[in-house]
Amino acid sequence: LFAAVEMAPRDPILGLNEQFAADPNPHKVNLGVGVYYDDNGKLPLLQCVQQAERAMLEHPAARGYLPIDGIAAYDNAVKALVFGADSEPVRSGRIATVQAIGGTGGLKIGADFLRKLKPGAQVLISDPSWENHRALFTSAGFDVGSYAYYDAKRLGIDFEGMLASLQAASPGSIVLLHACCHNPTGYDLSPEQWDRVVAVLQARGHTPFLDMAYQGFGHGIAEDGAVIQKFIQSGLDCFVATSFSKSFSLYGERVGALSVLCQSKDEAARVLSQLKLVIRTNYSNPPTHGGAIVAVVLNDPTLRALWERELAEMRLRIQSMRARLVAGLKAAGVQRDMGFITQQIGMFSYSGLSKEQMVRLRSEFGVYGTDTGRMCVAALNSKNIDYVCRSIAAVL
């Protein structure tokens, strides 16, 4: 049976982790995978999460099956967070939200549902994008193309190219957009650019699918969420995948969601029934623990305020590392202006380094980023930053 099974390629990002673990270099620094570490290089366990777990321990709950769409208090908290607690779509009940196994699970449920709904539609992801976007929509049965996004020469967004690709795509395409903190480039659209993208999506009858894996890591929870309001105002049907992996530092708990903004409450009820069908035939219903933690934190005013402070701390630390990286590279003798690093936002920086330079960084210095030049600035800290700056300066 298995004699002809071929070895599948490794995930290029997660594969780097294995290479990093095996590297004996005592100075090694892992800027490969998108994970936030604190200034001591430790994966944080947020205080709000610890307090929620303590409260949960005081009232231990049996572990029955959850409803197919997850914990109701969780789904409602996601709706309020993503669309606004007092927003018209929340009040009128025209959003279908399901708990999902991470943001990836949210994307996958949406992709499987869309495949039934629009089997022949073209899916467009940004060039470049998180590689799993392509793999995930391809495995759901779609033909996945891309729209222009990153301009390597100008170190920014090729916005006219992006609009042109969206205009040229066949009407009724599915367009995957990063709501904030674009992975891998770190370049987000401005509010005015979002307006123009929304207008093209409307004119061409495209369906937006927003991937929101980093809400709160850019400019703030509300600021990063503001883009959703533009889609509400547009009247477009819209998909939003949410991930709490980064914002709650709950990577391994696999907490996410999918929300579908519909035209009416009745539509939302029918869409929800179809999402539940996708879930039932995949994994039946979601796990309890991670969703329960997030529901407790988001629904308790004190814990919620604590979460917002802890999230702000992570966001501000990343921003300060960006500034120190720019200054440190200059101090290490880099001639070219690296100021673009502070214009980027979120966990990642597209450094502009070539594949050869990234390979040298790994082999000679033990500094791991992806071959595309992406570095996770959320893994820099006051102890490793000087070494990283000297290493980058050496390969430049």
Q: How far apart are CA 221 and CA 213, in angstroms?
A: 12
Looking at beta carbons, which residue is closest to ligand TYF?
34
In sequence order, the 6+-apart residues with CB closer than 8 A to the CB of 279 are 68, 69, 98, 109, 285, 286
Site string for ligand PLP, 246-265 (x = CB under 6 A): ----------x---------
Span interacting with ligand PLP, options 74-82, 99-107, 272-280, 381-389, rule CB under 6 A: 99-107
3-state SS class at 175: strand
Q: Which of residues 9-38 bind ligand TYF (CB under 6 A)?
A: 11, 13-14, 33-34
Which residue's CB atom is positioned nearest to ligand PLP? Answer: 102
Given ligand PLP, ligand TYF, none, residue 13, with its beta carbon under 5 to 8 Å by kind, binds ligand TYF
Query: Binding residue for ligand PLP (CB under 6 A) from 104, 247, 351, 370?
Result: 104
Hey, what are 29's tokens?
């620094």
Alpha-carbon gap, residue 241 to 75, rounded angstroms: 12
Specify whether 130 is catalytic: yes
Distance CA 75, CA 83 (A): 12
> Of how many residues is the chain composed?
396
Which does residue 147 touch among ligand TYF, ligand PLP, none (CB within 5 to 8 A, set by kind)?
none
355 is a catalytic site residue: no
Query: Are 353 and 393 spatial neighbours (Cβ–Cβ below 8 Å)?
Result: no
Q: Please select the residue that binds ligand PLP; options are 16, 20, 30, 34, rule is CB under 6 A.
A: 34
Closest residue by Cα to residue 292 from 57, 135, 29: 57
Q: Which of 188, 211, 224, 253 binds ligand PLP (CB under 6 A)?
A: 211
Active-site residue flag, 246: yes
Which of ligand TYF, ligand PLP, none binds 102 (CB below 5-8 Å, type-dependent)?
A: ligand PLP
Is residue 308 within 8 A of residue 223, CB to CB? The reply is: no
* Contact positions with ligand PLP (CB under 6 A) in 181-200: 183
At closest approach, how far in Å is the CB of 35 from ligand PLP? 9
Q: Toward ligand TYF, which CB reaches closer, 132 or 249?
A: 132
* CB 369, min distance to ligand PLP, A: 15
Q: Which of 69, 108, 130, 188 is catalytic?
A: 130
**Please, are residues 109 and 329 in contact by the beta-carbon 8 Å criterion?**
no
Nearest Cα to 13, choosing from 125, 99, 104?
104
Q: Are the C-beta atoms of residues 113 and 274 closer than 8 Å to each other? A: yes
d(CA 103, CA 107): 6
Among positive and negative, which fits the CA dihedral 362, 182, 268, 221? positive
| Nearest alpha-carbon partner for 124 in 204, 44, 19, 55 | 204
Interface residues with ligand PLP (CB under 6 A)?
34, 102-104, 130, 178, 183, 211, 213, 243, 245, 256
User: Which residues of the chain form contacts with ligand TYF (CB under 6 A)?
Assistant: 11, 13-14, 33-34, 130, 132, 183
Residue numbers annotated as active site: 130, 211, 246
